[in-house]
Amino acid sequence: MYGQNLTVHYLLSSEDSCETAPGELFDKAVDLVSSIRDDIQWRNPKAIDMSIFGLCGSGWQLTKRAPRLAISCQLKTSAALSAKEWSEHPDEDVDEKWSLEDLEDFDHDILNRYLLAEEALHSNLSGPTESSEEMLPTTSAEDEAPQMTSILGKRENSYVGDSPSAKHPRLERRSLFRVLPQPHFRPSPTTLRKPWLSLVQVDGFKAPFAPIPPHTADTVEEYLSDIFTRVAWIIPVRGCLGWHTATPAFVIVGDPTSESPRSEDLSFEGEDGKRGCSSIKWTEQSLLEFWDFLQGLRDAGNFGALALAFNVAHALSVAPFLSPSSHREPPNRLPPVADAHASCTPTTEQSERGSMVGQCDYIKIYHDTRYTHGLRTLLQAWFYRTDGTKTQPLKDAKLVLVDARGKGLLVC
């Protein structure tokens, strides 16, 4: 070939068939050499036979016949030789038919971990807690109606009895991903028409702030003195942030004025025994109005280059916050923020708090530090109306301000 004697070596693996004809190997060798030595720059690929695909409903189905079983010489055992082709029917005289009832339950380690996690979530949502058990109506086994059970064996109903207790709101347990319209991230506008207007429109927030270690009051003031540095207010929607004095939040179903939870169930106490402000209470409607309000601020440009983000936590992360009594301070809550004379030595608490922020549903408002105090004043004063009733969800709430890297600066 081509005036030269060429030798092509073919490596036969143990998985290849022993019945490969020598002529077939020679043809493969010729094709290999031709593809290397030919001057042809383009070879037409083999056309795909579209007849092997058939339109079936809303999808395509492969209609090509099943391939023949290729039994290698290494596997020519009695079991392999007894294997039937795909199109052959099972033998009637041999026990080859199995019903679903006769099959054992499918067991897989990875799947079991997901099922156990889902079971724990359902148990947390459906089962009464120790603190709320005394407030649930007592029913006997005869009076209790049969409950529908899921595949995990847990009740689908959230409450025992006909209706939830009047003293406790019905807390939203579903994911909040679809509550707010997407996109859940609104970047800063590329152009600003009125970049300085807000400096004379909104007064600074007068409430004192608590610096977050390793920051002190002096380092916080120094950080905020650069008016073009980017920071962000975190508005909790459901769950607890990682800082002791930060206000937790929860979402209820329906009108927040129709049902009022007991104050001792929706407050937490600090180490000094003084009660903090009550939790932030949201509804789906109030969240929508608040999100629209923030987008209006962003589009107007009165507070500079605002950017908005809505973070939705994993369902298992917020499961501990879906019962009314859960809004007491959790036992693993991190210690309170330090005073102005705290040490600036970095600790692992920053990373721990960062991970706790990821376990909370929250809204983040990115802005320049020149607008930090004005935004905090506006958040404090924001309200919405329900049947003529004025409600201020963020009144007296303590929010967290973080820097451009998400590290805590202060609680205010």
pLDDT for 244-299, tens place per residue?
Answer: 789 999 898 866 554 444 444 443 333 334 444 578 999 999 999 999 999 999 98
Rounded-to-integer distance, Cα 84 and Cα 82, Å = 6
Q: Would you say residue 397 lies in a domain?
A: yes
What residue has token string 């958040």? 379
Contact 115, 123 (CB under 8 A): no
Q: Take residue 70 and report the two structure tokens written for it.
A: 């290729």
Measured on CA atoms in the order 37, 43, 49, 50, is the torsion positive or negative? positive
Q: What is the separation of C-alpha 167 from the centre of its chain, rounded to a whole number of angstroms?
A: 31
Position 123 scores a pLDDT of 57
Q: Would you say residue 213 lies in a domain?
A: yes
Whether this model's pTM surpasses 0.75: no
Rounded-to-integer distance, Cα 129 and Cα 155, Å = 15
Q: What share of the chain is helix, strand, coil (3-state, %, to 5)?
A: 25, 15, 60
Contact 308, 186 (CB under 8 A): yes
Residue 13: pLDDT over 80: no
Q: Would you say residue 36 lies in a domain?
A: no
Contact 315, 121 (CB under 8 A): yes
**Of 330, 401, 375, 371, nearest to 129 (Cα)?**
330
Instruction: Count other C-beta atoms under 10 Å from residue 330's C-beta.
Output: 14
Q: Would you say residue 96 lies in a domain?
A: no
Position 55 scores a pLDDT of 67
Q: Take residue 61 and report the two structure tokens written for it.
A: 């189905």
Give 39 or 265, the one with higher predicted confidence: 39
Rounded-to-integer distance, Cα 13 and Cα 10, Å = 9
What residue has token string 């404090």? 380
For residue 390, the surrounding DSSP H or E stretch is: strand 389-391
Position 44 scores a pLDDT of 76
Measured on CA atoms in the order 225, 230, 233, 239, is the torsion positive or negative? negative
Taking CA 93 as the corner, what is the angle to CA 90 and CA 95, rounded to the nearest 5 degrees? Answer: 65
DSSP class of 172: -
Instruction: Count other C-beta atoms under 10 Å from residue 217's C-beta.
Output: 16
Residue-number span of the structural domain to which 200 is assigned? 185-411
Residue 352: pLDDT over 60: no
Q: Would you say residue 179 lies in a domain?
A: no
Between 13-27, 56-70, 190-204, 213-227, the lowest mean confidence (pLDDT) is in 190-204
156-210 pLDDT per residue, tens: 344 434 444 445 567 888 888 889 988 999 998 877 655 554 443 455 566 788 9
Q: What is the separation of C-alpha 334 from the centre of its chain, rounded to a whole number of angstroms?
A: 23
Q: Would you say residue 22 lies in a domain?
A: no
pLDDT band at 358 (very low <50, low <70, confident <90, very high): low
Averaged pLDDT for residues 65-89 = 61
Q: Would you say residue 303 lies in a domain?
A: yes
Amino acid present at 384? Y
Domain count, the chain: 1
Q: Would you say residue 322 lies in a domain?
A: yes
Between 27-36, 230-239, 387-396, the lowest mean confidence (pLDDT) is in 27-36
Amino acid present at 369? T
Phi and psi, residue 185, nearest 5°: -130, 125
